[in-house]
């Protein structure tokens, strides 16, 4: 599928390629994320999508209490973040929160 990205889009693609690989990989991931976001947005609430993702992702299971059971003041914004953010970023965030909890307990 040939395309001619603008100068700005090419700059963004080059940056993403340094993180993820080739144009094809970046475009495939982008299309997948857009598709999931669009189809999930019309079908379920942000909370339901976050719960479904945590339940379907073994790496997130140890942090279920932080990701979906805690009553975060950001509400739907937090749940949308959980539903769409890369798993590694969610795990890093949850580990940092846990470390903060452990420090507070001392």
Please state the domain extents for the chain.
Answer: 1-43, 44-106
∠ CA 93-83-46, nearest 5°, is 120
End-to-end CA distance of the chain: 57
Question: For the whole model, what pTM was predicted?
Answer: 0.56
The whole-chain average pLDDT of the chain stands at 87
| Long-range interactions of 50-54: CB distance < 8 A, separation 24+ | 50/78, 50/79, 50/80, 50/82, 50/83, 52/83, 53/82, 53/83, 54/82
pLDDT per residue over 15-55, tens digit each? 988 888 888 888 888 887 887 777 665 557 889 889 999 99
């Amino acid at each position: 599928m040939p395309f001619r990205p603008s100068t700005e889009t090419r700059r963004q693609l080059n940056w993403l390629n340094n993180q993820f690989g080739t144009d094809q990989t970046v475009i495939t991931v982008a299309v997948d994320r857009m598709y999931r976001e669009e189809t999930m947005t019309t079908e379920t609430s942000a909370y339901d999508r976050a719960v479904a993702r945590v339940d379907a992702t073994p790496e997130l299971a140890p942090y279920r209490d932080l990701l979906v059971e805690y009553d975060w003041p950001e509400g739907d914004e937090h749940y949308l973040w959980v539903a769409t953010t890369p798993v590694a970023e969610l795990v890093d965030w949850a580990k940092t929160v846990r470390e903060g909890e452990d420090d507070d307990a001392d």
